[in-house]
Amino acid sequence: MFNTLTAMPADPILGLLTKYREDSHPNKVDLGVGVYKDPQGHTPILSCVKKAEQYRLDTEDTKVYIGPTGSAAFNELMTQLAFGTDHPALLANRIRTVSTPGGTGALRVAADFIKRCNPNAVLWVSDPTWANHTGLFEAAGIKVKTYPYYDYDSKSLKFDEMLATLAQIGADDVVLLHACCHNPSGMDLSTEQWDKVVEVTRQQGFTPLIDMAYQGFGDGVDEDAYGVRKMAAAVDNMILCSSCSKNFGLYRERIGACSIIARDSAMANVALSVLLYVVRCIYSMPPAHGAAIVETILGSAELKQEWLDELKVMRDRINGNRAMLVDRLKAKGVDRDFSFIARQKGMFSFLGVNPEQVARLQSEFSVYMVGSSRISIAGISEANVDYLAESIAKVL
């Protein structure tokens, strides 16, 4: 059986991580891996998470399955976090949410759900999009196409082209949108642009699938959900995939959620039954530990405020790193305009250098980034920003 196999190419980011670890350069810089890091380069466990885990340790009394939907409390609180407590779709009982193994698990559940809704649906993703989006949906048997999004030359959105393409997409298809902190470009839709995307979605009738992996990392928890809430109020059908990996720092706990918005409560129940069949065929039951942490935090006024405060520290650090890099590049005499980095949101940005310059940064200066020049902003710190800026200046 296995003799027919050929080796798959290694994941480029994991390969970068291996090279970085083996590099003995004293000033090496890792801008590849997309996880939050504090100024010391460590990814800490949030204080509110530690407290919630201790509570779970003290109160958990069984390891029995929690059922394919996951924790009802987690699902309810995650729905409220995404949509707000008084959203019309929530008040009309049109939303059904299930727990999933991380945001990637939510996307795979959504993919198989879409395949059952319409086997011939085409799924449209932004150009560029998260590297795993295309492979994930193609693995579920869904054809993937792209719509224009990021302009590498002007470091801005191709919004008119994006809108024109969306206006040609039919009602049988699905369009994937990033809620905030676009991965990998960092270039987000403004509220005015979201309004226009929502309007063309309503007019064309295609199904929006919104991926929200970074709620709270852009402008704030409610601000980052603007597009999600606007869209859900305007369309009959929508899918939302959420992740707790980044904003709760629960990377290895693998907890996320998939929410289905239907035109009414009865149709939502039908959709949920199909969703649960999909879940049963993939992993049967979701993990419980991460969900218990999140529901403990969101269910406590004190812990939720502590979480919001800690999330703000992470958000401010990311935004501060953006401004700091731009300032240090100017200070090193770089004439090229890098101000776009400070205007973007979230964990990532394209530095805008060519592959040869990316290779030089790695081989000559031990500065590691993906070949597209996508950098993880959290890898920047006061300790390395001067060396990083000097290295970039030397390859320009």
Mean pLDDT across the chain: 97
pTM over 0.95: yes
Q: How far apart are CA 232 and CA 234, in angstroms?
A: 6
Cβ pair 68, 285 in contact under 8 A: yes
Predicted confidence (pLDDT) per residue in 218-242, tens digit: 999 999 999 999 999 999 999 999 9
What does each of the 396 residues of the chain score in pLDDT, given as a tens digit? 999 999 988 788 888 988 999 999 999 999 998 899 999 999 999 999 999 999 999 999 999 999 999 999 999 999 999 999 999 999 999 999 999 999 999 999 999 999 999 999 999 999 999 999 999 999 999 999 999 999 999 999 999 999 999 999 999 999 999 999 999 999 999 999 999 999 999 999 999 999 999 999 999 999 999 999 999 999 999 999 999 999 999 999 999 999 999 999 999 999 999 999 999 999 999 999 999 999 999 999 999 999 999 999 999 999 999 999 999 999 999 999 999 999 999 999 999 999 999 999 999 999 999 999 999 999 999 999 999 999 999 999
Query: Do you know the residue count of the chain?
Result: 396
CA atoms within 13 A on the CB side of 110: 34
Q: What is the pLDDT of residue 297?
A: 98
Catalytic residue among 37, 155, 246, 345: 246
130 in active site:
yes
d(CA 266, CA 50) in angstroms, rounded, equals: 40
Active-site entry in 173, 188, 211, 224: 211
Per-residue pLDDT tens over the stretch 114-148? 999 999 999 999 999 999 999 999 999 999 999 99
| 63 carries an active-site annotation | no
Helix (H) or strand (E) holding 276: helix 265-282
Amino acid at 64: V
Report how far residue 314's alpha carbon sits from residue 321's, in angstroms, rounded to the nearest whole number. Answer: 11
Catalytic residue flag (residue 246): yes
Q: Are 239 and 93 in contact (CB under 8 A)?
A: no
Which of 130, 173, 188, 194 is the catalytic position? 130
Q: Fill in the amino acid letter for 35.
A: V
